[in-house]
Amino acid sequence: MRKVLPLGITFVSGIIVVLANFLAPAWFVAANREISLWFQIVAALFCALGVANLTRIHSKRLARHSEGWFFSIVLFVSMFGFMIIAFSVGQQDDLYRNLYNNTIVPLNATMYSVLVFYIASAAYRAFRVRTLEATILLITAAIVMLGKAPIGEAVFGSWVVDATNWILDIPNVAGMRGIQLGATLGGLAMALRVLVGIERTHFGGTGE
Amino acid sequence: MVTNNPWIWLAAFLTLACYTFPFGDNPVYRFVEHVFVGTSAGYMVTANWFNWIKPNLAEIGNGRYLLIVPFVIGILIYARYIKPIAWVSRIAIAFNLGVASGFILAKDIKPLFITQVIATFQPLDDINNILLVFGVITSLIYFLFTVEHKGAVGVAAQAGRWVMLIALGAAFGSTVMARVSLFLGRVQFLLSEWLFIVK
Amino acid sequence: MPNVDRRIIYIVMIAAVVYAFVNPMGLPVTISDYTRTAHAAIEALPAGAVLVLGMDFSPGGIPELEPAAKAIFYQCMCNDVKVVMIGMWVMAGDMGERVLDEMAPLFPAKVYGVDFVNIGFKPGNGLLLERAADNIIEAAVDVDHRGLALSAMPLFEQFRSLREAAFWVCLSTGNPGVSDWIKVIGDPLGIPGTTDVVSVSIPENMPFVQSGQLTGIIQGMRGAAEYELLVDRPGRATAGMDAQSLAHVVILVFIVLGNVAYLTRKTRA
Amino acid sequence: MGLIRPGLVASFVLELAFAAAVLTLIGRARRGQPVPAIRRVVGLDAIDEAIGRATEMGAPVHFAPGIGAIDNAQTLAALSILSHVARMCAKYDTRLIQTNRNNVVYSIAEETIKQAYVDAGKPAGFNPDDVRFISEDQFGYASGCIGIMAREKVRANILVGAFWAESLIFAEVGAQVGSIQIAGTANTHQIPFFIAACDYALLGEEIYAASAYLSREPILVGCLIGQDWAKMIGVLLILAGAVLATFGNYDLGRLLNE
C-alpha cells in the first residue's frame, strides 16, 4: 500500500498526460484536461511548504534559545506580518503595493546583485590562464564582454561586435545544441524512470 | 535633495544593508536576510491564495465538487510533518511528479530534440554551415560514454570539447553582463529614486 | 600586488558604476539584427491583434527584463495591438502591475480589460500554458491579478485561447520560462514568438533562434536598450549602458592584472 | 496512422524506441546480463587524487551536492558520487564534511555517508555532526559553506550537482583557501566558472557518467547506455540530413516532421 499506491498514481497520471499529447481519442484529451487542472491545484497547495519548514526550524531555534534566536523572531514577524497584511487588504491596496515594492523587490533584487562583487574579485583571483582550456574560455569571454558593452565597439571598432555575433551564432549554437540534445535525452530518461516507478529516491524523508 | 517618502527610505535601507555582506558577515545583514526569507515565504502563500486557491474554492462552491479531490491530494503533502502518517504525503508527491514527468515525455522530444536535429540539416557548402554541423556532431560524440575516446572518436571528442569551451566562454562573457545589470538596477534605484542625483 | 584586499576590488567596482551614472559618456549603442528581427515582427502585427507577454521573472530580473517589457507594451499600444500579460512565476502579477503603473497613464484612451490585461500568476508551469491554449478564461479560473472577472472583459470576447494569439514574448529568467513557451505554444501551435532573456541565458537560447523557433531574441539589458531605441523611447536600459561599459572594463582590467600577477609569480618560481 | 496526431508520428515512434531501449537495458543490467561497458571519466582520477592529498595533509574534504531538490537528476548523480567519496574517506580515515541546502537531500545524504562507512568496515568513523544542513536560502547556504571552507581548512573541495549563482562564490573561496577543487554540473551557465576556477571540471553529462561508473547501479548504467545509443542515432541523422541538404534534398526533415 505504502509503495504501490504512490507508484500507481504516478504511472496513471503520467501516462494519461503522455498519451493525450500523442494520440487523438477525445476521452484522453478530456482526461488530460482534468488532470492538468488538478496538477495546477496540487502544485499551488504546496505553496505553504516554505512557511511550514521555516516555522519548524525556527521555532526549534527559539525554544532552545540557540545562537541567533533573535533573528528567528525577525523571520516570524516578517513572514506572518506580510501574510496578515496581504490577507487583510488584498493585492491591489496601496499598502500592499508599497510593502511589496519596497521590501520584497529591493531585497530580492539586491541579494542577487551582490554577485557582481564576487565576479569582480574572482576576475582578479580565480580567472587565470592556468590551463589551455581556461585560456580558451577567457579569450572567448573577453571578446563577448567587449562585444556586449558599447565601449568595446567604440574603442576597437565594429569587428568586436561581428566577432561576438559569430561566436554566438556558430560555435556557440553548435556547442550548446550538442549539450542540450544530450540533456534532453537525460531528462526523458529520468522522466521515464519516475513514470514507470524504478526511480524512488524522491520519496526520501517521508518515513518508511 | 533626498526623497521624503518613508517607503523609499525603507527600500534604500534594505538595499544598503544587503551590500554590507561582501564586506563581512554582520548582524545588519543577518537581519535583512531573515526579513528576505520570511517575506518571500509569506508571498508564496498569499500570491497562490489570491490568484489560484481562492477562485478555485469558489468553483467548488459553485458545484464543481470533483475539484475536492485535488484539494485533498494537495493537502496530503503536509502529512510529512506528522510522523505516523508521513507516508501519505507520498501520494501528493507521486501525483505531482507523475504529471510533471508525463509532461516532459509528452512535450520535450519534438521541439528540443527532433526540431533541433532538423535545424542542423544545413547544406555543407559554406564554412559556417560546416562548422555548425560538425560542431554539433563532435560535441555529441564527446558525450558518448560507451565508446573509448581513441582514434577517430578521440579526435572528434577533443574537437567537440573545444567547440563547447567556446560556447561556455560565451556564457561566461554574458554572465558578466547579467551580474553587472543586477547591480546597476540597484544603483539606479539609489541614485534616482532615493537621492535624486540622477534623473 | 598579488594580495589585494578584496574590499578594494569591491569599492573600485562601486565607484566605476556610480561614476558612469553621474557622468554619462553617451556611447552609441548599435542595434543588432536579433533585436531588429524581434521588433519588426511585432511592428508587423495588425491593429486589434493580441500579443501575449509571459511575465516569467521576479525582481532579480527587473533591470534586464522590465525595460523591454515596457518598450514592447509601448510599441503595442501605439500600434493598437492588445496585450495580455500572464505568468508562470509567482511574482508575475506584481511584475505586470509595475509595467502598467508606468506605461498605462501614457495612453489615457486605452482601457484595462479592452486593450490590455494583467492576468498575473497562475500555477502549473508549462501545463498552465497548455490549458490556456485550450481556454484562457478557464485556465485562469476567470480571475485576473486585480481580482476582476475575465469573462466580463471585452478583450476576451474575441480572444478565447492562446491559440488565437498573434505573437508571444516571454520575459524569461530561467525555468519555467522561454523553453516552456517554445514547447507548448511556439512549436506545436506554430505561433511565432520571441524572448527577452537575462544575459546568463543568451547562449543557451541561441540554438532556438537558429532553428527559427524564436523570431529574433532580445539579449538581456543590452538588447533591452536596443529595443528602447527602436521604439524611440530611451529608458533605464539605455541609461545603464555606459555603466555597463565601465563595469566591463573594470572586470577585464582585473582579469588582466590577476593574470599578470600570476604569470610573474610563475616565471619567478 | 490516424490514431497519432499529425506532426508527432516520428516523435512518438522515436520516443517509444528510446523508452524500450532504456527499459530493456536497465532490465539486463539488473539481471546481471552483459551490457556495454562505460568508460572511465577523466575527472574521477582527480577525485581520488584530491582525497589522497587531503589525507596526506591531515585536512578535511568538503562535499557539496548542489542546491537542487531530490527530483533533480543532478542531485541523484551527486549522491552516488558522494557515496564513493565517503567510502574513500572512510578507508583513509580522512574527515569528510558534507553540507546541504535541501532538507530531503540532507537526510538522504546522511544515510548515504553512514552506509559508506559501514561498507568500508568503519562504522565508528562516521560523525553525524559533519553532515550539515545549512539553510534553505540560496545565499544563506553559500555564506555558511564558505565559512566552513575557511574555518575548517578544507584542502579538497568536491562540488558536484545542480549549482546556480553560488558556483562562483564556492569556487573562488575554495581557490583562495588553497583547496584542490573538483567540480561538475549540468547547468551550462555555471560550467565556465568551474572550468576557470577549479582544478578539474566535469562537463555537463559527465556527472551522470561518473555516477554510473562508480556506483554500477543498473538504473543509472541502463539509462546512460540508452542515451548513448540515442546520441549515436542523432549523429547519424544529422550527418545524413546535412549531406542530403547539400544536394538540395530535405526529405529527411520532412519525414521527421510527419
pLDDT digits (tens, 9 = 90+) for A155-194: 999 999 999 999 999 999 999 999 999 999 999 999 999 9
Q: Taking CB atoms and an 8 Å limit, are D234 and B113 in contact across chains?
A: yes
B67 interaction partners in chain A (CB closer than 8 Å): 37-38, 41
CA separation (Å) from B12 to A111, B189, C12? 13, 8, 21
Are C173 and C196 spatial neighbours (Cβ–Cβ below 8 Å)?
A: no
Quote the pLDDT of residue A122.
87
Q: How confident is the model at residue D216 (pLDDT cuts 50, 70, 90)?
A: confident
Does A45 lie in the same domain as A78? no
Q: Taking CB atoms and an 8 Å limit, are B11 and A101 in contact across chains?
A: yes
Q: Taking CB atoms and an 8 Å limit, are D189 and C201 in contact across chains?
A: yes
Among A91, A124, A138, beta carbon nearest to C9: A124
Residues 16-75 on D with a CB inside 8 Å of B are 36-39, 41, 71
Convert the pLDDT of each residue in A89-129 to its tens digit. Answer: 999 899 999 999 999 999 999 988 988 998 998 888 888 88
Q: Taking CB atoms and an 8 Å limit, are C128 and A40 in contact across chains?
A: yes
pLDDT in tens, chain C (269 residues): 456 788 899 999 999 999 999 999 999 999 999 999 999 999 999 999 999 999 999 999 999 999 999 999 999 999 999 999 999 999 999 999 999 999 999 999 999 999 999 999 999 999 999 999 999 999 999 999 999 999 999 999 999 999 999 999 999 998 899 999 999 999 999 999 999 999 999 999 999 999 999 999 999 999 999 999 999 999 999 999 999 999 999 999 999 999 999 999 888 87
Q: What is the β-pairing status of strands D131-133 and C218-219?
A: unpaired
Convert the pLDDT of each residue in B154-171 to its tens digit. Answer: 999 999 999 999 999 999
Does A174 lie in the same domain as A143? yes
Q: Cell 502598467 belongs to which residue?
A: C100
Q: Taking CB atoms and an 8 Å limit, are B177 and C239 in contact across chains?
A: no
C32 interaction partners in chain A (CB closer than 8 Å): 161, 165
Helix extents (H) in chain D: 9-31, 43-57, 73-92, 103-119, 138-151, 166-176, 191-197, 206-215, 218-246, 251-256
Q: Taking CB atoms and an 8 Å limit, are A148 and C203 in contact across chains?
A: no
Interatomic CA distance for residues D167 and D142, integer angstroms: 9
**Cα nearest neighbour of D192 on chain A:** A137
Measured in whole angstroms, how far is the alpha carbon of residue D15 from the centre of its chain?
Answer: 24
Domain assignment present for A96: yes
Q: Taking CB atoms and an 8 Å limit, are D188 and A193 in contact across chains?
A: no
Quote the pLDDT of residue A90.
93
Convert the pLDDT of each residue in B67-88 to its tens digit. Answer: 999 999 999 999 988 989 999 9
Name the minimum distance, in Å, from the CA of A60 to any CA of chain B: 14
Are D110 and D129 spatial neighbours (Cβ–Cβ below 8 Å)?
A: no
Q: How confident is the model at residue A75 (pLDDT cuts 50, 70, 90)?
A: very high
Does A44 lie in the same domain as A6? yes
Does A46 lie in the same domain as A1? yes
Q: Is C105 exposed, middle or buried (0-12, 13-18, 19+ CB in 10 A)?
A: exposed
DSSP A149: S
Interatomic CA distance for residues A168 and A175, integer angstroms: 10
Q: Taking CB atoms and an 8 Å limit, are A174 and B98 in contact across chains?
A: no
In degrees and rounded to multiples of 5, residue C118 shows phi and psi of -115, 95
The residue-averaged pLDDT of D222-237 equals: 96
Domain assignment present for A162: yes
Interatomic CA distance for residues D73 and A185, integer angstroms: 12
Q: How many CA atoms lie within 13 A of C165 on its CB side?
A: 29
Among A14, A51, A194, beta carbon nearest to B42: A51
Domain spans in chain B, listed from the N-terminal domain onward: 120-199
Question: Is D93 at the interface with chain B, CB within 8 A?
Answer: no
Give the strand order in the sheet containing C50-56.
C116-121, C82-87, C50-56, C167-172, C193-197, C218-219
Query: Which candidate in B49, B99, B143 is best for mutational testing of the A interface (most A CBs within 10 A)?
Result: B99
Contacts of A5 (CB under 8 A, 6+ apart): B90, B91, B94
Interatomic CA distance for residues A10 and B90, integer angstroms: 10
Quote the pLDDT of residue C30.
95
A92 interaction partners in chain B (CB closer than 8 Å): none
ipTM confidence: 0.94
**Cα nearest neighbour of D7 on chain A:** A22
Name the minimum distance, in Å, from the CA of D254 to any CA of chain C: 15
Are A134 and A128 spatial neighbours (Cβ–Cβ below 8 Å)?
A: yes
Give the number of other CB atoms < 10 A from CB of residue C94.
25
CA separation (Å) from B102 to A186, B98, B195? 14, 6, 52
Q: How confident is the model at residue A207 (pLDDT cuts 50, 70, 90)?
A: low
Q: What is the DSSP string of A72-88?
A: HHHHHHHHHHHHHHHHH
Weakest mean pLDDT among B147-151, D134-138, D189-193: D134-138
Does A176 lie in the same domain as A146? yes
- Report whether pLDDT(D230) > 50: yes
Q: Is B9 exposed, middle or buried (0-12, 13-18, 19+ CB in 10 A)?
A: middle
Quote the pLDDT of residue D143.
81
User: How many CB pairs lie under 8 A apart between chains B and C?
Assistant: 137
Interatomic CA distance for residues C21 and A17, integer angstroms: 52
3-state secondary structure of C116: strand
Give the strand order in the sheet containing D156-162.
D131-133, D96-100, D61-66, D156-162, D180-185, D200-203
Q: Cell 517607503 belongs to which residue?
A: B7
Convert the pLDDT of each residue in D54-75 to its tens digit. Answer: 999 999 999 999 999 887 889 9
Among B97, B100, B118, beta carbon nearest to D241: B118
Number of domains in chain A: 3
Query: Which candidate in A114, A135, A140, A151 is best for mutational testing of the C interface (most C CBs within 10 A)?
Result: A151
Handedness of CA C235, C240, C242, C248 (dihedral sign): negative
Q: Taking CB atoms and an 8 Å limit, are C63 and B175 in contact across chains?
A: no
Quote the pLDDT of residue C182.
97
Contacts of C190 (CB under 8 A, 6+ apart): none
Are D7 and C188 spatial neighbours (Cβ–Cβ below 8 Å)?
A: yes
Residues 125-144 on A with a CB inside 8 Å of B are 133, 136-144
**Cα nearest neighbour of D191 on chain C:** C200
Interatomic CA distance for residues C263 and B108, integer angstroms: 47
Q: How confident is the model at residue A203 (pLDDT cuts 50, 70, 90)?
A: confident
C249 interaction partners in chain A (CB closer than 8 Å): 149, 151
Range of the domain at A1: 1-50
Global pTM?
Answer: 0.95
Domain assignment present for A72: yes
Among D15, D71, D256, beta carbon nearest to B105: D15
Q: Taking CB atoms and an 8 Å limit, are A21 and B106 in contact across chains?
A: yes
Quote the pLDDT of residue B22.
83
Convert the pLDDT of each residue in D105-149 to its tens digit. Answer: 998 999 999 999 999 999 999 999 999 988 877 877 888 898 888
The full set of domains in chain D, from first to last, is 42-214 (3.40.50)
Domain assignment present for A58: no
